[in-house]
Amino acid sequence: MKAIVYTKYGPPDVLELKEVEKPAPRDDEVLIRIHAASLNAADWYLLRADPFLVRLMVGGLRKPKYKILGADIAGRVEAVGRNVKKFQPGDEVFGDIARCGWGGFAEYVSACENALVLKPASMTFEEAAAVPIAAVTALQGLRDKGHIQPGQKVLINGASGGVGTFAVQIAKSFGAQVTAVCSTGKMEMARSIGADQVIDYTKEDFTQNGQRYDLILAANGYHPILDYKRALSPMGIYVMTGGSMAQMFQAMLLGPWISMTGSKKMGALATESNLKDLVFIKELFEAGKVKPVIDRRYPLSEVAEAFRYLEEGHASGKIVITLENNNKKGDKK
């Protein structure tokens, strides 16, 4: 099968399209013919081993432990291991396979069955591949850490990216009044996915305009944590899911102290991939409340190009890899 392989950390140039052995499913695994995959910042961290800690926590100290990146996938089950109970050949599935060894930028992957859910017929493979990490991050940030409530004023900074486009829609589905922060060219898109107000960060600094929010989800961009604190209502909650390293350290180190010493709660989210939340998002999709926003699609041979675009940091929604050969085999959706 064809796969995008890398054997040393580095820029997207280290990625090579190669012919490799098709995997065989172990007893608790499902062999999936991949129709689409999507890129996440986590792929990029593992590609470059940046931050360095990634080598110790996931990737391998000297060289990549996982030779094929790609966590978010959607495809069709081709074969199942003998202990697999939930799936059978022909099922259309999607999920985040990072905890079962990555491998999504390839024509086939063997993944553990407990990372996968059935894809709704109304969801395309590309939409399904766009969902797992970004949507679950947005959900956990808003619901679990942010304790979102109907009628609350919720602000999403970085509203036009992978996490942000899900966050706007999920916050709306919880009945919040949503303010999206993005650049000029993305304002219309932010309105189209349900934002009640849109702030153009190139023209206005939301931390300085006197408005107060019950919940702020920081999905991208940078503001000092004390600016975020000022923009919170007295009992407000700030959840950092992404952004600059400085922002992450401030949320992790200062957040708990600010939370202990006052009424505002501030902290960072580490997403925990789980099936329950993926099913929750799937149900929001089926109810018409969430629709993945796909910016660009690339063929497997152009994964490096897709990474270069991701690295620019200005995608409108998700970047998807489409497995052209597999989609030609009679069941493109």
Ligand X SMILES: NC(=O)c1ccc[n+]([C@@H]2O[C@H](COP(=O)([O-])OP(=O)(O)OC[C@H]3O[C@@H](n4cnc5c(N)ncnc54)[C@H](OP(=O)(O)O)[C@@H]3O)[C@@H](O)[C@H]2O)c1
**Residue ranges that bind ligand X, judged by CB under 6 A:** 40-41, 133-134, 137, 157-158, 160-164, 181-183, 186, 201, 219-221, 241-243, 269-271, 310, 313-316
The CA distance from 226 to 254, in Å, is 9
CB of 33 to ligand X, least distance (A): 26
Cβ at position 73, least distance to ligand X in Å: 16
User: At 277, is the secondary structure helix, strand, or coil?
Assistant: helix
Residue with Cβ nearer ligand X (29 or 277): 277
151-173 burial, b if ≥16 CB within 10 A, otherwise e?
A: ebbbbbbbbbbbbbbbbbbbbbb
Residue among 232 and 315 whose Cβ is closer to ligand X: 315
Per the CB < 8 A criterion, the answer to whether 307 and 15 are in contact is yes
Shortest Cβ 242–ligand X spacing (Å): 2
Q: Which is closer to ligand X, CB of 36 or CB of 84?
A: 36
Distance CA 92, CA 312 (A): 32
Instruction: Please say which residue, 38 or 152, places its beta carbon nearer to ligand X.
Output: 38
Which of 66/201 has CB closer to ligand X?
A: 201
Q: How far is the CB of 288 from ligand X (least distance, A)?
A: 23
Chain position whose Cβ is nearest to ligand X: 242
Which tokens sit at 89?
A: 């050949």
Q: Transcribe 156-198 into DSSP letters.
A: EETTTSHHHHHHHHHHHHTT-EEEEEE-GGGHHHHHHTT-SEE
Shortest spacing between CB 268 and ligand X, in angstroms:
7
β-strands 232-240, 213-218 pairing: parallel
